[in-house]
Structure 1
Amino acid sequence: MNTRSVVNTGALATLSLCFAIALLEGLDLQSVGVAAPRMAREFGLSVTQMGLAFSAGTLGLLPGALFGGRLADRIGRKRVLAFSVVIFGLLSIATALVTSFDALVAVRVLTGFGLGGALPNLIALSSEAVSPRVRNTAVSVMYCGVPFGGVIASVIGIVSAGDLEWRHIFYVGGAGPLVFVPLLFAFLPESKAFSRATHGERGEPASLFRVLFSDGRALSTAQIWISYFCTLIVLYFLLNWLPSLMAARGLGRADVGIVQIFFNIGGGLGALFIGLLMDRLRGAVVVSGMYAGIIASLAALSTTPGFMALTASAFFAGMFVIGGQSVLYALSAAFYPTSMRGTGVGAAVAVGRMGSVVGPLAAGQLLAMGRSASVVIGASIPVTLIAAAAALMLIRRPRVND
């Protein structure tokens, strides 16, 4: 990346603040998974109820992403992002105050609305802060904050005292976003590309159907949606269930936390590394290797015995699954013009979040039926093949250059 051009366009401030918000989003997204074993003991939850608690937050992400992206194309990315951050900060703190399972589910749905509204704006701001030739790298720099936020969640889970102590992680996850809101208003520049694209416009913005399916975008939209949906089934299954599955494999709490940390470290490094490769090598080569890595790491995670082998498998699973999703986020931004990018990316994130609901719920059902951790992890492989096919077709489609 050309450092001088990044600084001159204000991209450094944009990417730094977007990374920080992504870090806090990743902390919140993985908080429930880290806290789940202790929450289950306090509330007496079954595995089916745990799956519902995991999916509750992602359920709120659907309307949040769609509404947040659409609104951003009307009033700007910065304001919608700040509003979304306030929502998920306050609701994360509210999670720590719940006293029943029903309240937990309700609060997590509302938290998801804020998280969903933030993500398409983080993607749009990051992609519009730089030239198209380094868009993959910019989005990857932002998105690597999500798995590193998961590292923080895992560390908090390890150091929290007591078998029933789980609320600290949500207090931290709620206070951080609220602290950053004034910084967003003070230092985050609005997207210059968005300001140019909307300068002097009159009338209503393009309809949702036109944004997604007109001017030759219908096939690209369908392929983005399929790849998002299937990849996020795998990602959110691992984000939410990995600690519980590793505990079922006989690991203690500290070892489970270490496995989760390495999963997220791998994800952060994978997001950066794969994003850089996408801007330097042929897309088909990178995407093929990425999905081959997902399949191989899932197979290893489902069959390898022992703490060290599981830790290594989790590291590579994080590298390829989280890194792969960061590439998909960058790709989606490249297929919609600036004036429609928030809507297009938001719709893709919303559809993908259906997969993030399906993944934890399906895993919970399989476990409730008595299936082993290895079977549950292995069931993700066919879904990965579908995602790979859609992504490989997508990268052959024409992209916008603004």
Structure 2
Amino acid sequence: MKTASPSALVPERDSAGHSAWLTISLCFIVAVLEGIDFQAPGIAAPGMAQAFAMDKLQMGWVLSAGILGLLPGALCGGWLADRIGRKWVLIGSVALFGIFSIATAHAWDLPSLLGARLLTGAGLGAALPNLIALCSEAAGERLRGIAVSMMYCGVPLGAAMAALVSIAGVSADWTLVYYVGGLLPLLVLPLLAIWLPESAVFLARRRERRSPAQQAPAVAVTQGLFKDGNAAPTLLLWLAYFFTLMVVYMLISWLPSLLVGQGFSHTQTGWVMFALQIGALVGTLMLGVLMNRLRPLAISALIYLGLLCALAGLGLAEAFASMLLAGFAAGLFATGGQGVLYALAPLFYRTEVRATGVGSAVAVGRLGAMSGPLVAGKMLALGTGAAGVMLASAPGLVAAGLAVYWLFHRRHQV
């Protein structure tokens, strides 16, 4: 039976404290900036389409380019972080999405706009697995889930701030949101370089690998995702990420259009989207606390039955007040449930493959993010209406709920 070396255990136990809170706070700031950038295309889309004389198909390509960039960004960001460290890969990622957010505002034609959005997405995608790895390793085993949830609630908070910009009508100049989304990350870079500590767990592992007594034959990091009993958790994480993010991005992409089609005004639509992001903020914190306190069946049922009920409400609600409530519930269970998945994934991987494992799950989730708007568009083309769009997501959510139940059940047995 193998025993862990002391240097592998001490950093996670001793990392709670000032250094841990500093890491979580700085990662939270980056998550807020990610939330602003995630919401920016929805705010800028009308003005951008007019400025470049784009039809709906071309606008769809522009919106999809940012999502497409998230996939290779997440894979490469996680892979690099397990080799050279989390801190500097995160700093490079923030610089990347900051620079190319500003470049989006300076695009001169459709190809340059697509390129800027693709590279912005790559930076956003590379940042997320590093944020998760840094927070989970700083907090240690006992507080890992709560720490990741606290960090990730910055994403819906940033998106809610962007939604308020839309409600206030400040988005007349579509480039403004991209200047804000680009300059703020660049201003944060010096703070990260000076104050953000590298993961103590990662540094300890790197020292071990350099020690002659600990040297072993090199093994591909990606093999660690499927060896030593990791194959089933990896595949189930991928399944849960895929279908949960499919619903999250289906809501972000199509809900405003569905609401307008149901007779709600643009201002009312903005408030529903704001309610969705506030629900996401509350859900990320609430479910992050409950994930370690409820039984596996209870937490998985709460998330996915709650999400199914919220989607039914969005498809059937007619009054504005009930739509606000349904939007809040959808954000609470969809984005809040995704926050639980972000906190769950690091628990199944060793330090040397943790960022790669999280990055692979995030990348597969982005495939779901890309398919969600397509599924919704197909259902609308078939004339199913809002209720049909919501119903189409039900089988995937049931599969995701079963996967999450199995993952939590396995963690409780360890």
TM over 0.5: yes
Letter in structure 2 aligned against 1:123: I
Q: Does 1:169 align with 2:174?
A: no
2:34 is the counterpart of 1:25: yes
Q: Which one of 194, 212, 216 corresponds to residue 202 of structure 2?
A: 194
Per the TM alignment, residue 371 of structure 1 is displaced from its structure 2 partner at its CA by 4.6
CA distance 1:342–1:92, shift in 2 (3 Å): same
Partner of 2:292: 279
1:168-197 Cα shifts (integer Å, max 9, x gaps): 211111111111111001111111111112
- Could you tell me how far apart the structure 1 residues matched to 2:193 and 2:389 are? 44
Q: Distance in 2 between matches of 1:362 and 1:376?
A: 8
Structure 1 residues 42-121: aligned runs within 5 Å? 42-121=51-130
Q: What letter matches 2:62 in structure 1? A: A
Deviation larger for 110-119 or 284-293 = 284-293
Post-superposition offset of 1:128: 0.6
The change in CA–CA distance for 1:46 and 1:271 in structure 2 (over 3 A counts) is: same
Using the alignment, how far apart are the partners of 1:369 and 1:104 within structure 2? 31
**Matched pairs, number:** 397
Question: How far apart are 1:66 and its partner, in Å?
Answer: 0.7
Is 1:348 paired with 2:358? no
1:3-402 counterparts in 2 under 5 A? 8=17, 10-161=19-170, 165-202=173-210, 206-368=219-381, 370-398=383-411
- Identity rate of aligned residues, in percent? 47
1:219 counterpart letter in structure 2: A
Q: Distance in 2 between matches of 1:151 and 1:205?
A: 45
Superposition deviation, residue 9 in structure 1: 5.2
Q: In 2, are the aligned partners of 1:37 and 1:244 still within 8 Å (CA)?
A: no
Instruction: Give the conservation status (yes or no) of the 8 Å contact 1:9–1:130.
Output: no
Tell me the distance in 2 between the aligned counterparts of 1:49 and 1:377: 26
Deviation per CA, 1:108-161, whole angstroms, max 9, x where unpaired? 111111001000000001111112122111110000011111111111222244
For residue 177 of structure 1, what is the amino acid of its counterpart?
P
Whether the 8 Å CA contact 1:60–1:112 is kept in 2: the answer is yes
CA contact (8 A) 1:47 1:367 kept: no
Assess if the C-alpha contact under 8 Å between 2:300 and 2:402 holds in 1.
no
**Per the alignment, in what secondary structure is the counterpart of residue 386 of structure 1?**
helix
Unaligned residue ranges in structure 1 (runs of 5+): none
Per the TM alignment, residue 391 of structure 1 is displaced from its structure 2 partner at its CA by 1.4
- With 40-49 and 217-226 compared, the bigger mean Cα shift is at 40-49
| 3-state DSSP of counterpart to 1:10 | helix
Q: How far apart are the structure 2 equivalents of 1:301 and 1:134?
A: 34
CA RMSD, 1 decimal: 2.3
Q: CA deviation at 1:43?
A: 4.2
> Is the Cα–Cα contact under 8 Å of residues 231 and 387 in structure 1 kept in the other structure?
yes
Question: Which whole-Å deviations, capped at 9, do the CAs of 1:338-381 have from their partners, x for residues lacking one?
Answer: 12101111111111111111112332344455553332233222
CA distance in 2, matches of 1:87, 1:290: 34
Moved more, 264-273 or 132-141: 132-141
Structure 1 residues 160 and 95: CA distance shift in structure 2, 3 A: farther
- Distance in 2, Cα, partners of 1:399 & 1:107: 44
Letter of the aligned partner of 1:357 in structure 2? Answer: M
- Please tell me whether the aligned partners of residues 157 and 169 of structure 1 are also in contact (alpha carbons under 8 angstroms): no
Deviation of the 1:318 alpha carbon? 0.2
Q: Measure the CA separation in 2 of the matches of 1:7 and 1:209.
A: 29
Question: Structure 1 residues 331, 106: CA separation in 2 closer, same or farther (over 3 Å shift)?
Answer: same
For residues 36 and 368 of structure 1, the distance between their equivalents in structure 2, rounded to whole angstroms, comes to 22
- 1:400 to partner: Cα distance: 11
Give the match's secondary structure for 1:250: coil
* CA distance, structure 1, for counterparts of residue 413 and residue 158 of structure 2: 32
Please give the alpha-carbon distance, in whole angstroms, between the structure 2 residues aligned to 1:265 and 1:200.
44
Name the CA shift for 1:58/1:353 in 2 (closer, same or farther; >3 Å). same
| C-alpha separation in 1, matches of 2:40 and 2:192 | 24
Post-superposition CA distance 1:233-273 (Å, at most 9, x none): 01111122222322222222322221111100100110000
